[in-house]
Amino acid sequence: MRYALGIEYDGSEFLGWQRHGNGATVQAAVETALGFVADQPVAVICSGRTDAGVHAACQVVHFDSDVPRTDRAWVLGSNTRLPASVRVLWCQAVDAGFHARYAARARCYRYRILNRNIPPAMQRQFLSWERLPLDADAMHRAAQQLIGEHDFSAFRTVQCQAKHPIRTVHSIRVCREADQVLVDVQANAFLHHMVRNIVGSLIPVGRGEQEESWLGTLLAGGDRNVAGPTAPAAGLVFLGPKFPGEWNLPVAVTL
Active-site positions read 51
Instruction: Count other C-beta atoms under 10 Å from residue 54's C-beta.
Output: 26
What is the SS3 assignment for the chain?
CEEEEEEEECHHHCCCCCCCCCCCCHHHHHHHHHHHHHCCCCCCEECCCCCCCCEEEEEEEEEECCCCCCHHHHHHHHHHHCCCCEEEEEEEEECCCCCCCCCCCEEEEEEEEEECCCCCCCCHHHCEEECCCCCHHHHHHHHHHHCEEEECHHHCCCCCCCCCCEEEEEEEEEEEECCEEEEEEEECCCCCCHHHHHHHHHHHHHHCCCCCCHHHHHHHHCCHHHCCCCCCHHHEEEEEEEECHHHCCCHHHEC
